[in-house]
Structure 1
Amino acid sequence: MAQADCNSSRDNRWLLNGMTALVTGGSKGLGHAVVEELAGLGATIHTCARTEPVLNECLQEWKMKGFKVTGSVCDVTSRTEREKLMSTVSSQFDGKLNILVNNVGILYFQRTIDVTPEDISLYLSTNFESAYHLCQLAHPLLKNSGAGNIVFMSSVSGVVSVSVSLYGATKGTQFNVFLI
């Protein structure tokens, strides 16, 4: 086989044409990069963000690049909004989802003695509960696709202490989430 043929077939195995993905928190940081990478490989993406103007700016940017990306405003700390998000994804992708990327997370640097009960609830609902619940909601869609994948954007802080104990505890829980 010619060298060009080898390179072509090697590149094709990474293509995601026909695949669908939901990336939470896709308007900033790592989530934004994941949306761009998956879309660049040919996947059709739906993403969410808390801030509509930022989301709309990203959607316009991706449209100009020729990416197939839609989005909706969603605060993943809200069970109702997560359910609405998954309903939207199910409708857009005909009841099938190939990739769920649980990217959303929060981190505030604060001393452990300064953490309030409200901080604990916010961290748990954002970094753990939202990802866990979205996995539950996505399970039928992932199963229907015949090729479902879940990615957790966790942190080394979940397994090694790096002076952000609450963040580490809530991100570390993601290492133990899986579907049967």
Structure 2
Amino acid sequence: MTALVTGGSRGIGHAIVEELARFGAVVHTCSRNQTELNERLQEWESKGLTVTGSVCDLISRADREKLMETVSSAFHGKLNILVNNAGIAIELEPTQYTAGDFSTVMGTNFEWGYHLCQLAHPLLKASGNGSIVFISSVAGVIALPCLSVYAASKGAMNQVTKNLACEWAKDSIRTNAAAPSFTRTSMTNLATVKL
């Protein structure tokens, strides 16, 4: 099995990378931070896990396209698993969100993941056994204070999950979302905690 896990250098993404690699998958991950990525790659190599990685700012459309070119080349045009994990939360009262906040949260949590699915579709289809997993949040299902824009991004993600599950089943691509609640990670503030 081959897998791409975004945001795999820490938090939930780190755990997903390790779990998939321990099950024998060949995993590629990405991070915005080259130093952090290099440290994780050395860590996984020392554990005997097959993981590669590249620097990618998922907000950048060009970076996303380059990432999928790298993955396509590394995995010979086929991808079994795409885990859309990376995301952020900004905690504010609804009247305090700026247009920039809205754009950042929706772009980081929703837009890039949708685009990555579009780019990955031919690779997932070519594998004959594709699987997309969105890391969503309980905030996309229930109301939590000061997280209205985050919740909207995850609600959008949940609906796209349903649509892609129906529309791409014919291509042997399963699409699911996992919706964790507050998760204790090495991240230190709500702006980067996975909800």
**What are the residue-to-residue correspondences of 1:1-180 with 2, within 5 Å?**
19-163=1-145, 164-177=147-160, 178=164, 179-180=167-168
Letter in 2 for 1:41: F
**1:112, distance to aligned residue in structure 2 (A):** 1.7
Deviations 1:54-86 (A, max 9, x none): 111000000000110000110101111000000
- Is the CA contact 2:6–2:29 (under 8 Å) kept in the aligned structure 1? yes
**The structure with more radius of gyration:** 1
Name segments (4+ residues, structure 1) moved above 4 Å.
none
Is contact 2:90-2:105 (8 Å) kept?
no
Take 2:37 and 2:94, find their aligned partners in 1: how far apart are those partners?
33
The 2-side partners of 1:72 and 1:126 are apart by 18
User: How many Å apart are 1:114 and its aligned residue?
Assistant: 1.5
Unmatched tracts of structure 2, length 5 or more? 169-195
Distance across 2 between alignment mates of 1:107 and 1:175: 16
Q: Structure 1 regions of 5+ residues with no counterpart?
A: 1-18
Q: CA deviation at 1:22?
A: 0.2
Question: Residue 108 of structure 1: CA displacement?
Answer: 2.0
SS of corresponding position for 2:119: helix
In the alignment, the residues of structure 2 paired with residue 160 and residue 60 of structure 1 have an alpha-carbon distance, to the nearest angstrom, of: 39
Q: Offset of 1:176 from its aligned partner?
A: 1.5
Q: Per the alignment, in what secondary structure is the counterpart of residue 48 of structure 1?
A: strand
Name the amino acid aligned to 1:100: L
Cα distance in 1 for partners of 2:143, 2:113 equals: 22
Counterpart Cα distance in 1 of 2:86 and 2:64:
12
Report the residue type matching 1:58 in the other structure: R
User: CA RMSD, aligned part only?
Assistant: 0.7
> Kindly, what percent of the aligned residue pairs are identical?
61
Q: Across the two proteins, how many residue pairs are aligned to each other? A: 162
